[in-house]
Each structure stands twice: as structure tokens, then as C-alpha cells.
Structure 1
Amino acid sequence: MRALQKEVQMGIPECIKTRMNFYAVVAVRRQMESLETEAEPEAILGLGYPREGTNSILDQLLKRGFIRNGNRVFTLMLPASNSGIGELTLGSLKPEDPLEPGSLVYLPILHITGKNVRWKVMMSAISVVGGGCVAIKGPVLLDSGSPSLAGPAHQVNELVGIIMTRARSSKGEQVIRRTMSGSHWLHCDDVKYIPSLEVSFDIDQSTWGSITISREFVVRELSDRRGMCFLVVRARNIDYWRLGEPFFRNRTIRFDAQKGRLGMSLIHYKKAVTVSDAASAV
């Protein structure tokens, strides 16, 4: 979306006038023929999984016919850095980007009994590139609004332990230190010793796919302490993983509420055939 410094009219004969500034709705007026009244502004984009009773910008575009065929889909691309310009496409699923490694795969959205449907899919593991893997086999929420990679404490602690060991081995001395609050920090000059992460998903019974989170996205510089960085891998009191902004950096994710799926480019691998698998195939 672009910041608009003027009024925009949508819809005939009922006209909605919206004045926008700095990427936010600041005023709304509803006009019916010659009558014009104030209305409550709705600045929510509507990128969560659809729920009843919402009036987000995406819902308004659908209702007004600007997005045809009722396609409640969108594509989000975040650049490699905060200074870059991202891209949000409402009402369309972007075709596969040839610049991204792998091939486009759509993973089904999880429907968990008794809970609201969210942008969750099944994740199989998080690995440290070069060695070390934490088996997950559970749901993961893709949330571009979250600043971290968060998960259950026991799995996060296992993953951070592997990262610390690999970093120490690469430099020959301790790189990452733990604070009293439980977070982990390092000197930003030592980011080169941090391994990249690999997130794995089951595609089908014989194939799995992965996405790599580069080491520069695994850390973030502290704004109030120049030269110090912290790991964005955080333990939370949750029973699932939540992959935030670091996961989205430098890639395109497709959100399809029409068919209940998430699309992303994955590098494919064949699963190893176990003895039990071979026996069941006979």
C-alpha cells in the first residue's frame, strides 16, 4: 500500500471516502446520495485467517468488487533488510519467483479442534546447517508481525545449545552468552560464526522440503547498545512454533484462504526408506 495524501472514493451508489496518511486510515466518511456521516475507520489490513464480523481493508476490497471472484488470497514478500521495500499483493497469488531456490509447494492449513483457524502448517524439524537437528513434528504459525523465531522452551533450548556449540567451534572460543533474563547475546562482529538454520516440512510420504534462514537473520542488533546483537530464537510458553519476520526475509509467501493453504518455494529431498517402510511396501 502507498501512503495517500487525499480522499479516495470507493463504491457506487453508496460511496466510502477514506483519507489516508502515513500508511494508516485516519478518517472515514460514509456518503448516501446527499447525506454524509462520520464512520469508524478500519485500518486493519486483514491478513489474518478470515473470521466472521471483520471489516478489514481486504474485506472492504472484496465487498466492493475491487478484488474479483471473492479471492481472499494475498502474497507477501519481505526484503533482506529493514531498509528495503517489501511487497504486499492483495487478491492474487504471485507465481513462483525464479530467483528463489527450490520449487513452489502449497502446504495445507491445520484445522485444530476447538481453536480458531490460523496460518499454521505442520513443521517436521529445525536444523543447524552443517550439523545438528531438533525434531519438531508439530504445528508452526507463520506470523510476519512477530520479530522472533519462538517455540516451546525445551526445543528452543536444544536448538540454541547446538547454535552455541557450532559458533564456539568455528571461532575457537565462546561466542554467545546468556543473560539473566534468558536471552542470548553476542558481539555483532561475531555473526559470521553463527550457523544458518534450515526449517523442514513434510511434502508427502516420500518427500520433504526445506527453507534456509541465513545467519544474518538469526540475530538482530540491539538499538540501545551499538555493536551488540541478540539471537532471535526465543523460548515461549506455547505448544507450537511461531516463525516471525526472520523467516519471511528475502522470500515470498503466498496465503490462500480460499483453498486453505500456504505456498512457498522449498528445496526438495527424498526421505530415507526405513526397514518398516520397505516391509509395508511388500
Structure 2
Amino acid sequence: MRCRVLVLCAFICLFVLLVEGRQRKVSRSGARSVAVQNRQRNHRRTNNNNSNARRGNRLSARSNNQKRRRLNAAKRNKRRSSLAKKSERKSTSSASSGSSYATIPLDFKQNFVRTTDNLRADKVFVAHRYGGSFAKTNGSARLTNTGNMEYTCKMTLGTPKQSFTVLPDTGSSNVWVPGLYCTSKACRTHNRYRPRKSSTFIKVGKKFAIEYGSGAVQGVLAKDKLGIAGLSIANQTFAITTNEPGSAFVDALFDGILGLGYESISVDKVKTPVQNMCSQGVISTCKFAICMRGGGSSSRGGVIIFGSTDTSAYTGTNSYTYTPVTKKGYWQFALEAFYVGSTKVSGTSQAIVDSGTSLIAAPCAIYHKINKIIGCTETSSGECWMKCSKAVKAFTFVVNGQKLVIPGDKMKMRVRTNKGNIVCISVVTCMNTNFWILGDPFMRNYCTVFDMANNKIGFASST
């Protein structure tokens, strides 16, 4: 009996040991499983944290880039705004009437010496422009360049801007520049307009031609944005030349022409730049002024002012002698009388102010009287020569009852002959017309206001 009890106890103890061993095994396996799960969970958490960190870094970098771009854009805008304000302060101001205006400097070639050929070339241009004729040039004279047209300014066309040097010309009304497909030598030696590089170019396609002494400049009409003096004119019609024959424009100091006359003399009746400035509200006062300086050692030859008559920097005053325009085409007015010294040479006649002419052209009868009084020697080619040391009496132009006096020493100019000698000639030449053409020699002494709104011209003595 006792043995049975002992055996039973042994079985019970063994069973208990077996059960406890299994429980410990299950417990250890569970612990390992939990540990693995914890490690996996921690690993996933770490990966998520790393991924979030990387995403955060990318977002932070992107945010920093955006901030930098915003800061750079703000700086650029600030610089643009600052430059625009400076430009506005320089080129645009408000007068008491609230009108705005802008100025552009005229360039003048330093130490330029005219030749007799220069002058003869200029006379050919003037004769064709006004339908007159001069005394015939001698057979040996060759028209080789137009360097006599010295006063130029800057103009742009297109978007982005293409820059050109142009001759501001009150004796014509069209704008033209050399074209990309023009094969003439004159085009190849100057800046050429490229239509495909402008996003604001508009093709018109109508053929264009304008007569000059050596032939017609030919081309086609187009429209584009024109910029001058900080002002912008939309859809300005201009000509792109396809042919500039001969040698007339090869050595010219300008690429093209900026016409400042009335629309009535515009080829194809194209609206002029000043007309468009007025109609588009670019300038609120429909007028402009030109002041020319006499050169010397300065490369600046004066100024054109669009939208204002304030020429006080060149005249010391804003008091003008005004006279009505007698014919709206050229800037034409009544010249009441003309004197050399105290001698009256002529009575009432018509006169035209022309910034594109380097001489003063008088009717031939008046021309001969002037030469007799000042004692110069007329040549067969239409000049009147004298010694540079010769004293010349003052010239007086009477306009609207006021005397506009020019000292005699400013009525002669130094030129180089074909033989290389330096002589002086009178700035007055002869033309077979019944009116005067007052070019640069007159405008160098009198700032001229061209008032298109009231159709009048004003003169103020330059200082």
C-alpha cells in the first residue's frame, strides 16, 4: 500500500515537472516572439522616423529655396523699382499743370571737320527734299558721305529692345531703319532691325520709298513698339529698308531717320511718332523742343525735350518768341525781314526750320546780296569762301516783331577742301526757291519749340 502511494506521488511530481517545463518553454517562446515584435516595431518606427526626417529635410530645403527665391525676387523688384524711380526722376517730372515730359540727349561727333563734298552732299539732299535746285557742282565733286548731319540720338524698336542711332529730322515725317535683308553696303555698316527677334512686331508689308539725292531708299512698312527718351509708343509704323543705293548713307553717323514733321508730308500718310505720343497719352502736352550745342570738345550736342518747353538749362529763360505755323507740313513760318549788320537784305518771306540740314539755304537773289555785303568769294559749286580771320557782320532774323540776332563769327564754318586745305565758308547757300531753310547753324543759336497742339513755333536764345 505504501509503495503504491509512493509511486503515485512520483507520477504526480513528474507530471507537475513536465507541466511546469512546458509552461516555461511557452513563456520563453512568447518572450522571444514579443521581443522580435518589439524589435520589428522599433525598426519600423525608426524607419518611419528616418523617412519623416528625410521628408522633413526635403520640405525644409524646398522651403528654404522658396524663401531664397522670394528674397531674390523681392531684391530684384526693389532694384527695378529703384531704377524706375531714378529713371522717372531723371526723365519725367511734373510741371504745375500736371503735364509730364522726357528729355533725350543729342550726340555730337567730336572734332568733326566738314569737307566741301560733305556740304555738296547736304545740298543735294535739301534740294530733293524741297523740290528746288542749287548751283551746279563742279565735275570733280563726289558725294561720298553725309557726315555733315552730325546731331543724333538713340531710339529703340521691338521687344526686347533693339537699339538704333537716328537723325532727329524736323524736315521729314517718317521713321526708317536698315533691314536685316538689305544687302546694300550702307545697311551692312549699320545696325539692322530683326523682326523675328521682336514679340511685338506686326507685319504691314506695304512697299515704301523716299527720295534722296542719290536715289530712293526702299523698303517695307511694319509696326512695333518704339522707345525714345524713356517713353514708349505702341504700334508705331516705320519702314524697314531693303535697299539703300549708292554711297550716300555708307559713312553716315546714324542708322536711320526719326521724322518729326507733320503727317501731311509723311510718305504713305503714316502717323508720326509725336502724333502717336499725343494720341496715346505718352505726353500730355503735344509739343517738343530742340536745343543744339556747338560741339567743341563735348560729345553732347544738346537735347530734345518731348512734352515740355522748359529749355532753361540751355537758354537761361523760358521766354520765347512765338510765331504761327503758316503751313502744316514742314515747320514753316513767316520771316518778316532779314538784315546783315544794319543793311536790310530782304522783307517778308517764308522760312522752314529743319534740324536735318547742316546749312542755311536762302533764295538765290538774297544769297548773292549777303555775299556782296560780307565780302566772300562765290564758287561755281555754290559756296562762298573767305579767310577764317575775316570779320563778318551779325545776321538778324525778324520774327513776329522780335529780332533774333546771330553773331557773324557763327555764320561761317571751317571746311577741308579736296586738296586738304582748311578754309572758311558762309553757312548760307543758294537754293532756287522763294523760301528760307533754317538748319543747324540757326538752331545752334536758338532753341526751338515745336508746338503741334497750337501749331506755332517758338525761339529762345541759347546761352
TM-score, normalized by length of structure 2? 0.44
Match of 2:413 in 1: 220
1:210 partner SS: strand
- State the structure with more CA Rg: 2
Which residue does the alignment assign to 1:87? 303
Looking at structure 1, the residues matched to 320 and 274 of structure 2 have their Cα atoms a distance apart, in angstroms, of 24
List alignment gaps of at least 5 residues for structure 1. Answer: 10-16, 165-175, 267-282
Any conservation in 1 of the 2:355–2:440 contact (CA below 8 Å)? yes
- Segment of structure 1 superposing worse, 151-160 or 224-233: 224-233
Asked if 1:187 corresponds to 2:399, the answer is no
Distance 1:37 1:233, change over 3 A: closer
What's the counterpart of residue 146 of structure 1?
357
Q: CA deviation at 1:227?
A: 2.5
Question: By percentage of residues, which structure has more helix?
Answer: 2
The CA deviation at 1:100 is 5.4
Partner SS state of residue 160, structure 1: helix
Contact 1:151–1:242, Cα closer than 8 Å, also in 2: yes
Structure 1 stretch displaced more, 214-223 or 238-247: 214-223
Q: 1:235 to 1:100 in 2, by over 3 A?
A: farther
- When the two chains are superposed, the root-mean-square deviation of aligned CA atoms in Å is 3.1
Q: Is the 8 A contact 2:321 2:460 kept in 1?
A: yes
Q: 2:321 aligns with which of 101, 105, 118?
A: 105
1:178 paired with 2:390, answer: no
Q: How many residues align?
A: 230
1:19 to 162, 183, 193: 162
Aligned to 1:247: 442
Deviations 1:110-161 (A, max 9, x none): 03xxxx63211111221123x2111221111111211222121112211221
Secondary structure at the aligned position of 1:154 is classed as helix
**Is the partner of 1:86 in helix, strand or coil?**
strand
Amino acid at match of 1:47: L
Partner of 2:333: 121
Contact 1:100 1:251 (C-alpha < 8 Å) held by counterparts: no
List per-residue Cα deviations over 1:247-272 (Å, max 9, x = no partner).
Answer: 00133110011111001137xxxxxx
Equivalents in 2 of 1:152, 1:18: separation in Å? 44
Question: Counterpart of 2:217?
Answer: none
For the residue of structure 2 that corresponds to 1:159, the secondary structure is helix
Per-residue deviation at 1:232?
1.5
1:237 Cα shift? 0.7
For 1:37 and 1:104, locate their aligned partners in 2 and report how far apart those are by CA, in whole Å: 41
Give the match's secondary structure for 1:162.
Answer: helix
Cα 1:119/1:99, change in 2 over 3 Å: closer
Question: How far 1:92 moved relative to its partner?
Answer: 2.1
Change (3 A) 1:127 1:72: same
Q: How many percent identity over aligned positions?
A: 21
Contact kept? 2:334, 2:349, Cα under 8 Å: yes
Higher RCO (Cα < 8 Å, 6 or more apart)? 1
Counterpart check, 1:260 vs 2:455: yes
